[in-house]
Amino acid sequence: MEALIKVENLKKYFEIKKSMLSKPLQVKAINGISLEIPKGVIFAVVGESGSGKSTLGRVILKLIDPTSGKVFFDGQDITSLKSKDMIKYRKQMQIVQQDPYNSLHPRKLIKDIVGEGLKIHYKLSAEEIYLRIKEILECVGLREEHMFRYPHEFSGGQRQRIAIARALVLRPKFLVLDEPTSALDVSVQARTLALLCELKENFDLTYLFITHNLAVVDYMASHVAVMYLGKIMEIGSKDDIFFRPKHPYTVSLLEAIPSVGKGKRVRMIPRGEIPSPVNLPKGCLFHTRCVQAKDICAKKDPQEVEISPGHMCRCHLYS
Ligand code: SF4
């Protein structure tokens, strides 16, 4: 399948200072990621909080610049494009964020929130803008009268629909969905996920779906990358990851949700907490928690190994 997004050896390091006098510390949020997102798929990135998933989404969208590496959108290298040259791509790549309470301006009417991007990116009359906003609100299950209300007049699920409408009104090809349902009640989550699936088909979209919830991945995704401390530990089709998982970290995540996946597995719940990205473990990043760690694991970083076409794993057990 043709790739809409291609990422080559992407790195994003941040510098933080604990105090005015202290030396800056380096946070390796993304540490050498390469992947391809085929057109028309739902590509999930899963991992614990602190694994670098959200930073990856933002670097792909060029909301933040990478430290090194390249991002291609539909064959075009967008890594070093200047702001004016990025305008053409901005409307094709949108994001829906986790928190529908903070992502909508509280003092703006819904018509102004949803229509803002239209005014920036298209030369349309006021009537055309009005009709586009009305049409997109209807696509997400809202009504024309909702255009003249403020965000606080809506429930969490409705606010997330407004955020989705704001992203879709620009007719993008690619959406980054950053934990789009984790702030919602369970019943509302299910309806929002169903809506996102329906919109993907109707608008011919490709999704990068960022989540820590493998049950959601099971429902939504066709491709999955498992991220840990800024690196991809395993990547493959949903069936590879759910039914033929190889990496001990992937297996440990699946262990936490016994209702998904059918493979017979040994119990491999990881020990302790995810280490700080300021002070990364030497060797395999997962060795401090891995129940299958061997001597080599603390010394040598494993290389990516192809298990089967499209199914890659970074672990000494398969080198
Ligand atoms: Fe565990 Fe070693 Fe594999 Fe890392 S390389 S996941 S420590 S077995």
Q: Model confidence over 194-238: pLDDT tens digits?
A: 999 999 999 999 999 999 999 899 999 999 999 999 999 999 999
DSSP symbols for 217-249: HHHH-SEEEEEETTEEEEEEEHHHHHHS--SHH
Over pLDDT 70: what percentage of the chain?
Answer: 95
290 lines ligand 1 (CB under 6 A): yes
Model pLDDT for residues 105-154, shown as the tens digit of each residue: 999 999 999 999 999 888 899 999 999 999 999 999 999 999 999 999 99
Mean pLDDT of the chain: 92
287 lines ligand 1 (CB under 6 A): yes
Which tokens belong to 100?
């529908």
CB atoms within 10 A of CB 210: 27
Q: Is the pLDDT of residue 319 over 90?
A: no
Average pLDDT (90-94) is 95
Protein residue with least CA distance to atom 8, ligand 1: 293
Query: What is the pLDDT at residue 180?
Result: 92
H or E stretch at 248: helix 248-255
Query: What is the pLDDT at residue 138?
Result: 97
Torsion angle of the four alpha carbons 96, 101, 105, 110, in this order, in degrees rounded to the nearest 10: 80
Task: Please name which of 98, 21, 32 lies closest in space to residue 66, comparing C-alpha atoms.
Answer: 32
Ligand 1 binding pocket mutation candidate from 227, 284, 300 (most atoms within 8 A of CB) = 284
Protein residue with least CA distance to atom 3, ligand 1: 315
Name the least confident of 55-69, 203-217, 246-260.
Answer: 246-260
197/272: higher pLDDT? 197
Assign 260 a pLDDT band (cuts: 50, 70, 90).
low
268 lines ligand 1 (CB under 6 A): no
Which tokens belong to 302?
């494993």
CB atoms within 10 A of CB 92: 15
Model pLDDT for residues 169-183, shown as the tens digit of each residue: 999 999 999 999 988
Q: Can you tell me the distance from the alpha carbon of 297 to that of 223, in angstroms, rounded to the nearest whole number?
A: 27
Q: Is the pLDDT of residue 249 over 70?
A: yes
Name the least confident of 88-92, 139-143, 308-312.
Answer: 88-92
Query: What is the pLDDT at residue 101?
Result: 78
Closest ligand 1 atom to Cα of 249: 6
Q: Quote the pTM value.
A: 0.93
Beta strands in 52-204, from DSSP E residues, in sequence order: 68-73, 76-77, 93-96, 174-178
Average pLDDT (49-69) is 95
Q: Can you tell me the distance from the alpha carbon of 313 to that of 319, in angstroms, rounded to the nearest whole number?
A: 9
**Which CATH superfamily includes the segment(s) 3-92+172-258+266-314?**
P-loop containing nucleotide triphosphate hydrolases (3.40.50.300)
